[in-house]
Structure 1
């Protein structure tokens, strides 16, 4: 990797972290399409590099939320274990579908379609996440285990999962307070990222240097994004990026159809 590319990848991580901290979304949903569409990474390599970078991001974020006492440790244990199992299962599935680019494109396309619709809805209608009280994530152990397991599978296959899926699952399905959902999500997601990243390293689909640059960039950017929440209307940026992600999702789906038909 030449120095200019390294700087650009670091800046990508910085932007991903800033927007992630500002909008409450995972850096994955910005880093992954950037690696594919801007840096022209092959799809499997982009997925492996992104999820490896998120190990640094999630660890740093979890430490910060632990200090703020925003982590429900009982939920973290359940989701971390079930999520790690799911990530292993998803990584095995990834091994068999890594060369089926049409299928990966379809999976990513519909995953980003969910992100875009949710962001557009919350942005246009200025809908805020419900602010439940308490310091725990409600719900049964079974419900939390199932959430962790299925999101772990998604993580293993396409490298997405933390802010993209865990946070809204904790809030909208289990009724968690927002700050507890975010902190618990980060702490829970570390195991999924580590397991998925380890599989991707073994499978040889990780650009380790790029992952480090991205990870460090997101760590710094997350601090900037957290401060911007006080001065920038997140609903407006959320609506704008919702349409950006809608374009990304349709592009993935189109690429899937194009690859399948060719």
Structure 2
């Protein structure tokens, strides 16, 4: 593959990932991972290594992108900070644990289970009314901590930021309004993606067959080009998010969660 085409695909992937991060509060790994995987295969990287590198590099991109996205959401008053330290601390630990587990066990069964969980979540998202104010936000430290742990585990195990499950739980279970669920999820993903990224760097430190310019499983070349566009787009998208009707954001989340669920099961 021509290097210019390679770079352009990465820049385009970064735009899509940044759009998802800023607008919807999810990491964008569903876009970043397959693009990288395809490109690595085209350069002769072995399939299993290519997938792990794609996971790890996606988390590195998500980490940087979510810092900018969260800053914008915070300035717009859309980040609930009351329980955020619990979510982020447990999310970081969960992501580290999930990454270590993922390189030592077959996660195919977990992917299928996660896929069915996503589809179950979609039905709840369709039929349950989302909160439209802050009056009923849960005050449970345990539930917020559990959310962080689950989101972190999914991040480390499956190479996703965790927002794909955090936002439905924040809205359906913890009663966050949609816009504040997006902003709070963005902040949470900073911790989960950082934990996963660090773990994948350590785990891949002495692994053979990695592409050039890799730091552990994180490929710095792909990271650079993806991050260039993702961080810029994420900031603009975060500002747009506050102006979009909550129902439209809900429908976008439903479509993404449904797609992820079907993909994990192997139907798409």
In structure 2, C-alpha distance between the alignment counterparts of 1:238 and 1:174, rounded to whole Å: 17
Number of aligned residue pairs: 245
- Unmatched runs of 5 consecutive residues or more in structure 1: 98-102, 255-262
Matched, 1:95 2:103: yes
2:75 paired residue number: 67
- Unmatched runs of 5 consecutive residues or more in structure 2: 42-46, 205-215
Conserved in 2, the CA contact under 8 Å of 1:21 and 1:225?
Answer: yes
Q: 1:2 to 1:109 in 2, by over 3 A?
A: farther
Deviations 1:203-245 (A, max 9, x none): 22111221232233222333554548759x6688777767755
Conserved in 2, the CA contact under 8 Å of 1:132 and 1:178?
Answer: no
Higher relative contact order (CA 8 A, sep 6+): 1
RMSD of equivalent CA atoms: 3.4
2:64 paired residue number: 56
1:216 paired residue number: 228
Structure 1 residue 60: deviation in Å? 0.9
Secondary structure (helix, strand or coil) at the match of 1:11 reads: helix
Deviations 1:110-156 (A, max 9, x none): 5456556756986xx6987442335x942310111111112111111
- 5 Å-filtered alignment, 1:1-262, equals 2-22=3-23, 25-37=26-38, 40=41, 42-97=50-105, 103-112=106-115, 114-115=117-118, 129-134=130-135, 137-202=137-202, 203=204, 204-223=216-235, 225=237, 227=240, 245=260, 248-251=263-266
Conserved in 2, the CA contact under 8 Å of 1:137 and 1:180?
Answer: no
Structure 1 residue 75: deviation in Å? 1.3
Higher helix share: 1
Deviations 1:15-56 (A, max 9, x none): 232245455543112222333356536221111111111011
Q: 1:144 to 1:238 in 2, by over 3 A?
A: closer
1:257 paired residue number: none
Deviations 1:34-91 (A, max 9, x none): 3335653622111111111101111111111111122222211110111111112112
Conserved in 2, the CA contact under 8 Å of 1:120 and 1:240?
Answer: no
1:260 paired residue number: none
Q: 1:185 to 1:237 in 2, by over 3 A?
A: closer
TM, length-normalised to structure 1: 0.76
